[in-house]
Structure 1
Amino acid sequence: MEIYNYQNNDSAHIAGTKGLFRPLKSVQKDFHFVDYIPISLYPGLFHYRLLIDTKDFSKEYKGQIEIIPDTGQVYTSDLIIGKRCNMEIFSYRGLPFIPVIDLNFELNDTLFSYIEIYGLRADSLYYDSRYKIIGNSGNLIYERKLRNLKCGYQIVDTTSIPLNGLTGGEYTFLVEIYDSVSASRFQHKRLFTIRPLKVDISNMPFSSEIQFLVSQKEFKRFKVLSQQEKEIYLKKFWTEHDYQEFVKRLLEADEKFSTTRMKGRNSKRGRYYIKYGPPECIDDIPMNRWGKPLELWHYYSQGKDVLFCDVHNDGDPELIAVLRVNELFHIIELGYYKPEDIRKWPWLTRIAPGTYFRQKSEEEEDILQED
């Protein structure tokens, strides 16, 4: 490793050979090791070159490190990107993650972001952070904003982002930190790559069950392909979708929604569950004098509620509407009955044909009871 400071014409060089115990091939499926070089630096801008050379692998990494003087101002460390892990393979400040030097990820990885913030004052209780993933064409793929509590002069800011919803390709990960007290704003970004999965559909028994993930029109096109064309199509399809997560949802749908006459995966709720994933919470709203029993799925992180109702009394509740969070309870509590409300929410007449008379009839009943 070489590190140098142009301003002071200063440099250092570290080189050596390290021994490594390598397990037998029969047990080295998940073999890996973690190495590090401790360096103490003074304030300034340093450039480094790191060369890793083994019998089977050789790669060079270049970059720069900036050490800022402790002036009492707000500043941040460099951005470290790694893979989230449950094993205590590598831990820094009590956080288990694996730093990724070459910034290459697999689709089933969880990207882990680590950055240190210094010089925060508690004049305001919070600082703001924003995380983005931007596609190769500049399109915004992921964004999350957080307001974080200041719990000291030095803060460690982290976030985890599952990558299973993305496809193979190049992306930009961007972190923005803003402190309102000092009006300080910092931005760090890293380019990273997701390697496409090598798909072997012979080991994927549910690989052709794509009707749960594509439109009816697309599935009809797939059905008329030749066997060879189907294999090519499926290999490409499953490099862009998480097969393991799909199978998990498929089996869970069977377990949750199956009836004596229908597999859960073929039910209307099952299809939604497979395509969009499990809700964070479900509310069962029992039958009352103005409407049928309802089932409301809450996807709080996506800002939506999904309403199901067994309108035909056949044991297969169907999708009625996708609403804003708590919008249904707002409608029920206010008791809408005006004709313009029915035009705004036409599905109300499906779950309760007399919905828009509800408030009026209740008021009339109160008058009759008083008389």
Structure 2
Amino acid sequence: MRILKTAALLTAAAFLAGQAAALPSRSEGQVDFWVDGAAFAGPDGKTWQELYWSFSPNQLKARDSLGQRTAAFRTVITLADSAGKQRLGEDWRTTAPMPDSALAAQRSMVQLDQLAVSDLEPGRYRLSVGIYDLVSGSQGLVEAEVEVPSFSGRTPAVSQVELASDIAADSTTSRFRKGGLTVRPHPERVFGDATNNRLFYYAEAYKVEKAHSIRVAFSSFKDPTLRVVDTRVLSGQSGAVVQYGGMVLDEMENGYYRLWIQALDAGGGVLASSQANFKVERDILERLPQYRRIMEEQAVLEKEAGEYYSKIDLIANQAELAAYARLSQAGRREFLRQFWRKRDPSPDTPENEALREHVNRYRQADAEFREQARAGSETDRGKAYIKHGPPDEVEKRLLEAETKDVLVWKYNSGQVLMFWDRLGVGRFEMVYDKHNPQRSDPRFQRLLNQ
């Protein structure tokens, strides 16, 4: 982790307030909830303003109807400009099933929601968010001044930073989706036990060039030194870019922090910057033995698997690989620990059988499938062996009008793979994958029926 020095120590009040002092904001009244927001570039020079809020439904009074417990509440949101013109006005009622009181007390239930206004003029707005319990009559209210920034200038800019409890690749439609990502905001901005010891971030940079880079760093109230989490050089990219990722908080003490996302020029100078404050809060007494156990588990797994421990690109799914790519070094270590733990068929035994099998497949692939100067694990057959394991049946067949053998690998699962030494030089290319038509040459489908 690289360390950079900042100019001066901030006062506690200034640190907690940040650039946009209004958000996040906690409600007043009997219903306790949080409201947060983030602004991004919108169409035609306008600003896209998102608003997020969350609360625990356990606060609401449930009523019994025909043997079912339900809670009913009303949500009212308004946003008005400095002249009093209303730009957002929403009012709706929600009825939700509730578990019985004993189970509800055990669960940490959270109601999370989000709205966006896509075409705001930059300036100051008055925000009001109210949640009203329709059974008990209790209520909570947030009233705040929101400064909507402009991103329409000619120089590089960075959007406001959205802090989230999770970011994942997702093709489904939801109000939390941005592009191909689902970003679940965390309006309270308190991370630790409540977020599985993780923090995620999302931001956008505008009018950046190929020679520029994006830096992610954090500082604390106690120490204003910038600690670099990630630096990404924008080779081949320009205009508007997305920056997202995650942090594992294991090595961070309880306290207040600030996350920085900065656009840098080719020499490392700051062109634009945005920041978001957050708090790390964990039960230290419970965390210390757990932390030691995690560190010990990571060390054992890394020693057991050696160089193969982090080679997961052939067996992880696209969402896992995307998440892994955005993590810091410490985050990747924790990701890999959980990745292999999740795949362990016998988690109560000292050995992780899935990891052992992964290592054996890599070694076997290198031993059996080497092709000229290419390591066996880098060939098509080697990669297939690592991903699918040894075939249950191997056949050799001839394609019509060809003299070179086609290797057919069959698996009891129904998977069929074919490899062909097209040039006759001992280099076998994968030409058919039953479960992946995009990698399949249709000519080889006929061999299955011979």
**TM-score where L is the length of structure 2:** 0.41
Q: Which structure is higher in RCO with an 8 Å CA cutoff and minimum separation 6? A: 2
**TM-score where L is the length of structure 1:** 0.48
Compare CA radii of gyration and give the structure with the larger one: 1
**Structure having the larger proportion of residues in strand:** 2
